Structures are given as C-alpha cells and as structure tokens.
Amino acid sequence: MTFDTHEIDSMLIRQLADGQFHSGQQLGEKFGLSRAAINNHIEKLAQLGLDIYRVTGRGYKLAAPIQLLDLDYFQSLLPAHFRDHQVILKHVTESTNDDVKQCLASARSLSAGTAVLAEMQTKGRGRRGKQWFSPFASNLYLSLYWPLPQGLNSAIGLSIVLGLAIAETLIGAGIQDVSLKWPNDVYIQRKKVSGILVELEGQAQGEGHAIIGIGLNLALPPESPIDQPFTAISEHLDSILAGKMLDGKTLDRNAWAAELYSRCLTFLAEHDAHGLKPFIERWRELDHFYQQPVKLILGQHEQTGIALGIDELGAFLLQQGDEVKRYFGGEISVRDITT
C-alpha cells in the first residue's frame, strides 16, 4: 500500500503522539519508506512547530506526549441528535473558515452544522484580518456552516450568541471569572481565551450563509506571539470540576471540542427560533464592561461613555451624557478606558 505525503505526515504524527522513541528503520518499514525519506518528513513536522528529539540509535520522539483529536471519539461524545452532522478533521490546514467555504462552493447545498476541526492552522485569522496564533495540537480551531435562509439580516447578533455558547461551555466545566467583551471575545480573569470570526456570504434579501470560526486556547506557551493579555484553559485546571473534560490531570481536547460544538449548534438553533432576545439578559450578566467607563475606537475616531450592554439587535449601548447611543460591529472595538 502506498500513501501520499499528507497521509504519511498524519500517520507519523499519530505514531509519535505517545512521546516514546520510534526508530527511523521501524518507521520506514511501517510506511514503506527509506530512513532518509522518514527524516525528511520529520524535518517537515519540525517546521510545523513540533518539538521532536533525534537520538542516534534510538530514533525520534516528541518532547512530550500530545493528545490528538480523534473524529470517532469526538462524535461519540456528541448528543445523539448531532452525530449525523458532517465534521471534517484536518491535521494541518491554512484556515478552517476557508475549508468550510470550499465545502460550500463545491456542494449544491451544505447541511447546517457542517464543520471543520484542525490540529493547526497556518493562516488562521481573526477580525480585521489579524493573525490567530494556531500552534499544533494545543488549542481548538473549529469552523462551522450555518444557513441564513432569510438573508444576511438574520445574522444579526450571531457573534453575541456564539460568545455566550463559549462562555457557558467554560462555566459549565467549573471555570470561574468568565466574561464577555463585545462583540466577539471571551475572557477568563480579564484575559482573552477565545475569539470568534463570523464571515457572511449571500445577499441581504436572498439566501445567505454564515461561516463561523472559533478559536479556543487550551494550552499556549508563555512566549506565544499574541499582542494582548491572554490565557488558556490549562492555566485554570484547579477550577475544572472533577470528571469534566479532563483525562486524569490533562485536558481532554476531544471532550472540549464536542461540548463546544454542541453548545454552538444548540444556541444557533435557539437564535433561529427566537432571535437575540432570549440571550440579552445573560449576556449583560457576563458583560466584562457593563456600567463601566469605556472608550470605543471607530477607525480614526473615538467615543467615550458608560457601557450599558447590548440591545435586541446586538448593538453596543453607550451612555454619553444624558443620551444612550447605539454602535454596531465592523471596525468598532472596546477598550477599558483605564488602560
């Protein structure tokens, strides 16, 4: 049996995931390759950021074991009514959002909830095209498709709803001091742990499509190239309830992925049925800046006032003097006026 280069890379990763030594000869025999060819594949994996030791006479091993996403295990953890959804797992991809877009372009129709999970993104992005740091087998990178049969206007508030889905996933696991930053960030103890990118295709009055990207930090090295205070779930293990998405003392990445995916589908269906109204009060309870002085940055302009949460359309409410003004998404960001 012969394998293409991507299959060999994936099989090598699975073989090395246990953190034990594997000789080049054994790996070569297993995959029908020379030791030199195996070494070339190892070099390629190292370029992805995998910390691989090479020891003469012993072979190759990862610096530490890694837990890979496993599609069968992931799907077994889903509620029964979500198990028939198409979920694609990739070891390395440029962008899971782009993968969903490609699925949409190549299919006559795509089922709600069709999703792509990846171990690593080489061109992951957030709002306004900012890079989303996506190291291998460290975090969750999930994109899913959601149809908008009533047009793009029905996408109002999607990032609000998805932020709540992520926050409730964290809270349900026992993590404390979870908060939301309008319009699309999730915090733990005032540090960002997750972000959302919603991309829309279609027309305002015709059928539309939402491609939803979510990044959730499970474990990040301290030297990660992120330009704002950040945290990861692994820094809050003491808060996580016993048996809740832990494999011993290690985060169960598949369980986190299944819980996050399930929450998102449930909240999106609720939004389809009832709009944003059922979510507004809970969002206000978790609003990181509620009733605090803030500064809004809109391009080259700034507005200051008191944050008053969101309205039924997901607009940010800012009290300025005796007047409450509404601000919508796009280029708006919220910054604590004290920083």
Looking at the structure, tell me whether residues 197 and 240 fall in a common domain: yes
Looking at the structure, tell me whether residues 268 and 195 fall in a common domain: yes
Looking at the structure, tell me whether residues 280 and 152 fall in a common domain: yes
pLDDT for residue 213 is more than 80: yes
Give the CB-side neighbour count of residue 22, counting CA atoms within 13 A. 25
Specify the CATH number for the domain of residue 168.
3.30.930.10
Determine the structural domain holding residue 21 and report its residue range: 5-62
Specify the CATH number for the domain of residue 37.
1.10.10.10
Specify the CATH number for the domain of residue 332.
2.30.30.100
C-alpha span between 74 and 253 (Å, rounded): 9
Looking at the structure, tell me whether residues 159 and 278 fall in a common domain: yes
Highest mean pLDDT among 198-202, 210-214, 235-239: 210-214
Looking at the structure, tell me whether residues 76 and 46 fall in a common domain: no
What is the H or E stretch that residue 271 is in?
A: helix 253-274
Looking at the structure, tell me whether residues 156 and 264 fall in a common domain: yes
C-alpha span between 147 and 158 (Å, rounded): 12
Average pLDDT over every residue of 16-38: 90
- pLDDT for the residue 95: 92
* Residue 56 in marked binding region: no
- pLDDT for the residue 330: 38
Average pLDDT over the chain reads 87
Q: Are strands 115-121 and 191-202 parallel, antiparallel or unpaired?
A: unpaired
Q: Are strands 140-148 and 115-121 parallel, antiparallel or unpaired?
A: antiparallel
- pLDDT for the residue 333: 56
Among the three residues 264, 284, 304, which one is the final residue of a domain in this structure?
284
* Residue 125 in marked binding region: yes
Q: Which of 38-47, 109-118, 219-228, 267-276 has the lowest mean pLDDT?
A: 219-228
Q: Which residues are catalytic?
A: 127, 192, 335
Q: Are strands 87-93 and 316-320 parallel, antiparallel or unpaired?
A: unpaired
Among the three residues 284, 306, 321, which one is the final residue of a domain in this structure?
284
Check residue 338 and report its DSSP letter.
T
Count of domains forming the chain: 3
Average pLDDT over every residue of 286-306: 87
Looking at the structure, tell me whether residues 144 and 38 fall in a common domain: no
**What's the pLDDT band for 338 if we cut at 50, 70, 90?**
low
Looking at the structure, tell me whether residues 268 and 316 fall in a common domain: no
Asked whether the beta carbons of 143 and 211 are under 8 A apart, the reply is yes
- pLDDT for the residue 301: 82
Looking at the structure, tell me whether residues 280 and 294 fall in a common domain: no
Average pLDDT over every residue of 250-268: 94
pLDDT for residue 336 is more than 60: no
Looking at the structure, tell me whether residues 58 and 78 fall in a common domain: no
* Residue 126 in marked binding region: yes
Looking at the structure, tell me whether residues 152 and 251 fall in a common domain: yes
- pLDDT for the residue 78: 97
What's this model's pTM, rounded to 2 decimal places? 0.87
* Residue 102 in marked binding region: no
Average pLDDT over every residue of 252-264: 96
* Residue 121 in marked binding region: yes
By C-alpha distance, which of 228, 195, 67 is closest to 136?
67
pLDDT for residue 157 is more than 80: yes
DSSP for 92-111, written as a single string:
EES-HHHHHHHHHHHSS---
Looking at the structure, tell me whether residues 46 and 89 fall in a common domain: no
